[in-house]
Structure formats: C-alpha cells, structure tokens
C-alpha cells in the first residue's frame, strides 16, 4: 500500500536565497513547486493555504492563469465578451473602447495581480494633469485640461473590468475598492425630479408629439431612445392596455409594460398624428425611418418654460419616484423599471424633502408600548402625528 502523506503542503527555503518556496500536490496528485515571492514565513504559509483552498475548489488552474494574465489580454477579452451587444448597448461598448485605449496605455503589460490601488491612484492623478489633445492638419493641438468626469468614466470602466475578473476567480479582490477619486466630480448621474406643475408647463410649451413623449415616459418609465423612439404601432395594444418591448438595454427590459389611462390617451394622440407609417414617431428626414433624437426640441422647450436644463431621460427617474412616493415597495419599483439590480433603483428614485416630511408625519411615538399602556392613556394621547384631513 502507498504511504499516507503527512502534510498537504510544506513551506521551505532553498539554499542561497531568502525567499520561501511552497510545495503541494494538485488534484491529480502531481507535485507543484513555486516561489511564494516573499521572505516572510507567515505570508508564505498564507499563500500555501490559498493554493490548497483553490485546489479543493477546483480553481487552481484558474488562479494560476490569473497570476500570469496581462491586463492588455484581459481588456481585449472583456471588450469582446462582456462589452458588446447583447451584453451591453452599442454606445456603452463604444465608451468602453475609448476608455480602454488610455487604460491599456498605462497597464497593458502589467499583470492583473500587479495592479494595485496605489498604481491606480497614480494613473488617475497623472491623467488629471494631462490636457486634451486633438488632431489638426499640421499635427496635434493641446487644449484645456481633461474633464474629471472623463477620467472618472475611465475609472468606472476599469472597476467593471476587474469586477468581472474577481467573479472569474482571476483576482482575489478588486484593487479599485481601495481607491478614492482624487477630485470632486460634477455632472454624474443625479436625476432631476419633475413635479406635476413643472410637467404641465413643459407640456403646454412644447409641440404635441413632445407632450405625448413626456406623458408616456412619466407614466410607463420607458427608455426614450432604446425603447420609445423605435416603437412600432403594432407593439401597442390599447385594448389590453399594454405595450410590448422586443428589444431593450438589458434582457429584463424585454417585457410587456402596462399602461395607465393617461398613457393610453398619449398613445392615442400620437397615433393620430404619426401618419400611416409603421413607426409611432416617424422621421421627418427619412420617410421609412423613425425619430432618433429629441435633444433640440427638448432644449428649446425648456428655454421657453424658463426651466433649468435637465436630461429628458430624467423623466424615467420621475416615474420611479412617483411610484415610490405612492407607497409601492422597492422590489416592485425595480420590476416596474425592468431592472435586474435593486441597487440601480436608488439612482432613479429620489426621496424629496417633502416626501420625507410626509413620512415623518407617520412616526409612531408609542411603538412597542401598546400592551403596557393603560387604555385611558391610549385614548388621551395620539398614536402618531398624522393630521386629520
């Protein structure tokens, strides 16, 4: 009979070196010897334990591959498999490619495991000192400093890439978690909540089709350029009060969306002015196509109403906020938005100050005292601060 092994692995030191080495066997029983890359005995033992755990979880080859994989190789793999449609929208893929050019210039030859929070910090600070370079007829011209929002987008793309590497067990942890962006970033996703009076002003000053767009999005939460503008008339079922979304930003976005009475009236109004073509919002330039943007008419309408500019996409955030203010549970709001991640809901729903004050009116100052307080005291003191209507 073969002799039983006393140890799963050992830490030893080779003659003439201060670096500790580790020896263990993989799942096939083949002996593996490798350097721990440290002169600390405790760190070497930690590395041995990580190797044994990876072996037991059948992830040893994946972990070893991650230690030799260069960032440039991983970036190319990510862009090919996790960035293109249908995984992500085409515009998102284009943004990822633009950011990847700068990231690969800094980290292309570095191994994934060698990218640290300090190296990312240095990269961000170096980029903030650079200036915009544009190509002209005689070469390149330097303009002003690069906007911090542009560099923050690069940081977000890097974080996304490394998060996928962590899930694939190529990295133990994402070094971006230890990075704090060095400057305050303005212009990130801060949705604007449209009050009902404000919405009525916008509708009264805009053309009829824009009024229909505003009413449809605030009543259904549709994505304007991915779902609403390319919508065909046969996707709208007014009799059953639903619209069918066959293509969306995410797989969860492909679904039937219920309609309110206001949304039904807006769809009827748009069908009446859309003509005989198949699209709900036909293009003025291309008879066989659909409208692709509302940016110009949206900006001019806000100027006429003297309302500070905000994105038309924020109407989707207004839809989520109104659902939340109406008492709809967060889980249901997430489903109504057709989102897979409940964390995304926090970006869309805005708990305004007035809503918080209304919530405070429901504060129960006698919580957990109902069983111990005498009935005559309960009759004398109100249970909450809700005022009679």
- In terms of domains, do 209 and 151 share one? no
Are 214 and 79 within one domain?
no
357 — pLDDT class (breaks 50, 70, 90):
low
> Are the C-beta atoms of 155 and 125 separated by less than 8 Å?
no
Contacts with 382 (C-beta within 8 Å, 6 or more apart), sequence order: none
Split into its structural domains, the chain has a count of 3
More confident residue, 121 or 389: 121
Q: Is residue 156 part of a domain?
A: yes
Average pLDDT in the chain: 83
Same domain, 309 and 235: yes
Judged against a pLDDT cut of 50, whether residue 107 lies above it is answered with yes
Q: What is the domain extent for residue 239?
A: 196-351
The answer to whether residue 384 sits within a structural domain is no
Structure tokens at 42: 């405790």
Q: Are residues 324 and 244 in the same domain?
A: yes
256 & 340 share domain: yes
Q: Do 103 and 207 share a domain, yes or no?
A: no
27 and 75 both lie in a single domain: no
pLDDT tens figures, 253-282: 888 999 999 999 999 999 999 988 899 999
Residues 224 and 307 occupy one common structural domain: yes
The number of angstroms, rounded, from the C-alpha of 337 to the middle of its chain's C-alpha atoms is 14
Whether 369 is in a domain gets the answer: no
Same domain, 200 and 311: yes
**Does 255 lie in the same domain as 324?**
yes
What region does 285 belong to: left with phi over 0, alpha with psi -120 to 50, or beta? Answer: alpha
Number of residues that this document lists for the chain? 389
- How many Å apart are CA 93 and CA 160, to the nearest integer? 12
Of 124, 148, 178, the last residue of a domain is: 178
Contact assessment for residue 314 and residue 308, using Cβ atoms and an 8 Å cutoff? no
Q: Report yes or no on 47 lying in a domain.
A: yes
Same domain, 162 and 23: no
The reply to whether 291 and 257 lie within a common domain is yes
Biggest CA–CA distance in the chain, Å, is 91
Mean pLDDT of 66-94: 87
């Amino acid at each position: 009979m073969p002799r039983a092994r006393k140890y799963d692995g050992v830490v030893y030191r080779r003659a003439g070196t201060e670096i500790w080495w580790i020896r263990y066997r993989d799942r096939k029983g083949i002996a593996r010897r490798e350097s721990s890359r440290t002169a600390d005995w405790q760190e070497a033992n930690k590395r041995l334990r990580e190797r044994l755990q990876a072996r037991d979880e059948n992830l040893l080859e994946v972990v070893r591959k991650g230690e030799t994989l260069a960032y440039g190789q991983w970036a190319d793999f990510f862009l090919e498999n996790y960035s293109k449609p249908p995984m992500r929208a085409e515009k998102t893929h284009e943004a990822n490619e633009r950011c990847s050019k700068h990231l690969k210039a800094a980290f292309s030859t570095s191994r994934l495991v060698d990218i640290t929070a300090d190296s990312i910090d240095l990269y961000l600070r170096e980029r903030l000192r650079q200036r915009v370079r544009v190509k002209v007829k005689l070469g390149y011209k330097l303009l002003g400093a690069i906007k911090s929002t542009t560099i923050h987008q690069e940081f977000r793309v890097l974080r996304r890439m490394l998060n996928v590497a962590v899930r694939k067990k190529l990295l133990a942890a994402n070094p971006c978690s230890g990075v704090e962006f060095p400057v305050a970033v303005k212009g990130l996703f801060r949705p604007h909540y449209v009050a009902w009076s404000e919405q009525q002003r916008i509708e009264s000053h805009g053309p009829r089709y824009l009024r229909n767009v505003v009413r449809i999005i605030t009543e259904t939460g549709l994505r304007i350029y991915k779902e609403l503008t390319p919508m065909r008339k046969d996707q709208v079922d007014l009799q059953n009060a639903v619209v069918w979304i066959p293509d969306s930003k995410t797989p969860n976005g492909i679904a039937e969306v219920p309609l309110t009475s206001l949304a039904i009236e807006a769809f009827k109004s748009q069908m009446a002015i859309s003509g005989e073509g198949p699209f709900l919002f036909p293009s003025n330039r291309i008879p066989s196509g659909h409208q692709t943007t509302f940016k110009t008419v949206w900006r001019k309408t806000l100027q006429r109403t003297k309302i500070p500019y905000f994105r038309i996409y924020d109407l989707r955030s207004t839809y989520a906020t109104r659902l939340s203010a109406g008492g709809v549970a967060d889980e249901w709001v997430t489903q109504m938005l057709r989102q897979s991640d409940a964390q995304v809901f926090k970006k869309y729903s805005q708990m305004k100050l007035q809503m918080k004050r209304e919530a405070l009116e429901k504060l129960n100052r006698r919580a957990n005292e109902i069983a111990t307080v005498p009935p005559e005291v309960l009759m004398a003191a109100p249970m909450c601060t809700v005022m009679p209507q």
